[in-house]
Amino acid sequence: MLKISVYGVGNFGFALLKHLSRKQAIRKNFTLYGYDINKQLVDCLRTKRTHPLHHKNINLNKDAIAERLLDESLFSVDIVEYLVGKGLSYRKAHDITGKMVKDNLDKNRKISGLSIAELKRYSPLFDKKVKKYLNAWASVSRKTSYGGTSPRLVKAQLKKWRGKLNA
């Protein structure tokens, strides 16, 4: 028997679980497990058998979402990874990035608005390439380890699971 576990259920995980549960009704050869740290989400999945975002009366404000994605502090992990890639220890990269993000939030400034000289005050390892790390698409695309959010990896997983489920 195949055991399928989906961690961090979220929207995509729930959709996958829902799709797999339909297949399970046809074939009884696998067991599904969904895990998430969000207690409300897990309770909703258990009691209502539906994800809270799958209700028809939910409207997403795409403009508000797009506006929030302009908050460059969202990409602090990417900046840490940039510095680690330049040879800095994770701890130092985390401290530098935290200070930079805090300073710029306090001054209501964007990191992308800093000059190279201003960036280098935080770390001499910064150069103009770091500004390429300050957008959502680049952030998602850089997550290339197994289970990452890179569009290439997501497409590969979708293809893999479609193949397995349609076999």
CA distance 141 to 154: 10
Burial bucket for residue 84 (CB in 10 Å: 0-12, 13-18, 19+) = middle
Q: What is this structure's pTM?
A: 0.59
Most confident of 28-42, 107-121, 139-153: 107-121
In a domain, 7, yes or no: yes
Neighbours of 9 (CB within 10 A): 20
| Whether residue 61 sits in one domain with residue 20 | yes
**Residue at 142 is within a domain:** no
10 and 50 in one domain? yes
Same domain for 78 and 60: no
* 83: pLDDT strictly greater than 90: yes
Residue 105 CA to residue 83 CA, distance in Å, equals 20
- For residue 113, the model assigns a pLDDT of 92
Mean pLDDT of the 29-47 span? 57
Per-residue pLDDT at 26: 46
Mean pLDDT in residue range 22-26: 52
Q: Is the pLDDT of residue 63 over 90?
A: no
Is 77 within a domain?
Answer: yes
Number of Cβ within a 10 Å radius of residue 119: 19
Contact in structure between 125 and 86 (CB atoms under 8 Å)? yes
Count how many domains the chain has. Answer: 2
Residue 140 lies in a domain: no
| Domain coverage including residue 19 | 2-66+148-166
The pLDDT of residue 62 is 79
Asked if 60 and 33 count as a contact pair (C-beta separation under 8 A), the reply is: no
Token pair of 50 as six digits: 């539906």
pLDDT per residue over 142-157, tens digit each? 888 888 888 898 898 8
Q: Name the phi and psi angles at 34, rounded to 5.
A: -115, 135
In a domain, 44, yes or no: yes
Residue 141 lies in a domain: no
Among candidate residues 110, 54, 36, 51, the one with its CA nearest the CA of residue 79: 110
Mean pLDDT rounded to a whole number for the chain: 77
Mean pLDDT of 25-54: 56
If asked whether residues 78 and 114 sit together in one domain, one would say yes
